Amino acid sequence: MSEAIKAATLEYATRLGDDSVVLGHRISEWISYGPFLEEDIAYGNVSLDYIGRARMFYTYAAELANDGRDEDDFAYMRNDREYRNLLLMEMPKGDFAYSQVRQLFADVYYTYVLPELLQSKDETLSAIAAKAIKETKYHLRRSRDWVLRLGDGTEESHKRTQKAVDALWGYTHELFDMDETEQMLADAGIAVDVSKLRGAWLAKVTEILTEATLTVPADDWAVRGGRVGYHTENLGHMLTEMQIVHRSFPGCKW
Partner 1 sequence: MTPEEQNFMRKIEAEEKIEPKDWMPDAYRKNLIRQISQHAHSEVIGMQPEGNYITRAPSLRRKAVLISKVQDEAGHGLYLYSAAETLGISRSEMIEQLQSGKAKYSSIFNYPVLTWADIAAIGWLVDGAAIVNQVSLQRTSYGPYSRGMIRICKEESFHQRQGYEAMLALAKGSPEQKAMAQDALNRFYWPALMMFGPHDSDSAHSQKSMEWKIKRETNDDLRQKFVDQTVKQIEVLGLDHPDQAIKWNEARGHYDSSDLNWDEFWSVINGNGHCNRQRIEHHIAAHDEGEWVRDAITAYNEKKRAKKAQQAA
**In 3D, which of 128, 244, 141 has the Cα closest to residue 192?**
128
Q: Which of residues 96-115 bind partner 1 (CB under 8 A)?
A: 96
User: Alpha-carbon distance 33 to 121, whole Å?
Assistant: 41
**In 3D, which of 133, 122, 112, 129 has the Cα closest to residue 8?**
122
User: Alpha-carbon distance 31 to 39, whole Å?
Assistant: 8
Q: Does 47 bind partner 1 (CB under 8 A)?
A: yes
Q: Does 191 bind partner 1 (CB under 8 A)?
A: no
User: Alpha-carbon distance 242 to 90, whole Å?
Assistant: 13
Query: Among residues 167, 184, 223, 242, which is the contact residue for partner 1, using CB under 8 A?
Result: 242
Q: What angle do CA 79, 85, 87 make, to 5 degrees?
A: 105
Helix (H) or strand (E) holding 198: helix 198-211
Q: Does 131 bind partner 1 (CB under 8 A)?
A: no
Q: Does 28 bind partner 1 (CB under 8 A)?
A: yes
CB 43 within 8 A of CB 34: yes
Q: Does 237 bind partner 1 (CB under 8 A)?
A: no
Instruction: Give me the least distance between CB of 243 and partner 1, in Å please.
Output: 9
Query: Among residues 7, 44, 77, 167, which is the contact residue for partner 1, using CB under 8 A?
Result: 44
Instruction: Give me the least distance between CB of 106 and partner 1, in Å please.
Output: 18
Query: Among residues 2, 3, 35, 218, which is the contact residue for partner 1, using CB under 8 A?
Result: 35
Query: Among residues 4, 31, 130, 228, which is the contact residue for partner 1, using CB under 8 A?
Result: 31
**In 3D, which of 172, 236, 191, 151 has the Cα closest to residue 57?**
191
Q: Does 156 bind partner 1 (CB under 8 A)?
A: yes
Where on the chain is the footprint of partner 1 (CB under 8 A)? Answer: 21, 25, 28-29, 31-41, 44-45, 47-48, 51-52, 54-55, 58, 71-72, 75-76, 95-96, 148-150, 152-154, 156-157, 160, 241-242, 244-246, 249, 251-254
